[in-house]
């Protein structure tokens, strides 16, 4: 796989103009980008069409979570946009995930987009899981259970922390994709993320793709920051030197 296509830049901005300005600063034509709820809901499906027409690969990060029939119909429509990767939330259950994969397959113009399930947000920790969500199990057990359910429901992979990637692959398949947000360069602030990793750590831990936001987009020089992330992702010495 093209290593540059394994680094997904999170375009966490609100408008089309901000998006285009950010892409100009990053200066990586045709790179992989993530369109989340903020950008999509305020600007609509044209955002995806614009990015695809400019040659970018697109991860449409909407985390759909609804009844199976609604998700099926939504995915059937979203597939026509040409996004390369789309996700749902695994908490919606097996029937919903099967419906999502079916809708994507029926709506796709050619190859079906990669369909992922979110296990737990990287802002979730054990305390939140127990005290707010009332799930009294270890967080890694909950995540691997969600991942196993996603695998058996026909998902292509999961969105998870890098720290759970290998355990998920061990429990499912080495081919089951691990797409990992919560990526920070070692000298960056973790912000509101709880389970963070550097690009090199993520690769060593089993990630297939990394999603990087503020470490690139909030940098003084986004182009230079992107290259630092890519160089760290390519770092083959992390295991022996860390």
Concatenating the DSSP letter of every residue in 117-157 gives: EE-S-TT--HHHHHHTS---S-HHHHHHHHHHHHHHTT-SE
Q: Residue 9 and residue 233: Cα distance in Å, rounded?
A: 13
End-to-end CA distance of the chain, in Å? 25
3-class secondary structure, 111: coil
> Which run of H or of E encompasses 209?
strand 209-212
Cβ within 8 Å of residue 143, ≥6 positions away: 119, 120, 160, 161, 164, 168
Q: Is 63 annotated in the active site?
A: yes
CA angle 91/42/19 to nearest 5° reads 100
Catalytic residue among 5, 25, 52, 63: 63
Catalytic machinery residues: 63
């Amino acid at each position: 796989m093209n290593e540059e296509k394994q680094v997904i830049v999170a375009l966490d901005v609100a408008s089309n103009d901000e998006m285009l300005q950010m892409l100009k600063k990053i200066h990586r034509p045709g790179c992989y980008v993530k369109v989340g709820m903020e950008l999509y809901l305020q600007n609509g499906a044209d955002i995806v069409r614009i990015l695809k027409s400019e040659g970018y690969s697109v991860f449409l990060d909407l985390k759909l979570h609804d009844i199976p029939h609604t998700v099926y119909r939504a995915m059937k429509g979203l597939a026509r946009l040409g996004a390369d990767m789309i996700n749902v939330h695994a908490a919606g259950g097996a029937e919903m995930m099967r419906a999502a994969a079916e809708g994507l397959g029926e709506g796709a113009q050619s190859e079906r987009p990669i369909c992922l399930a979110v296990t737990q947000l990287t802002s979730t920790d054990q305390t939140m899981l127990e005290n707010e969500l009332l799930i009294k199990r270890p967080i890694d057990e909950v995540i691997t259970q969600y991942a196993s359910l996603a695998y058996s429901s026909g998902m292509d992979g999961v969105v998870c922390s890098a720290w759970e990637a290998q355990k998920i692959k061990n429990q499912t398949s080495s081919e089951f994709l691990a797409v990992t947000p919560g990526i920070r360069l070692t000298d960056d602030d973790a912000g509101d993320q709880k389970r963070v990793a550097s690009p090199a750590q993520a690769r060593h831990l089993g990630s297939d793709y990394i999603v990087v936001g503020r470490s690139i987009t909030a940098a003084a020089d986004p182009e230079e920051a992107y290259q630092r992330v890519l160089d760290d992702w390519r770092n083959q010495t992390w295991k022996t030197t860390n």
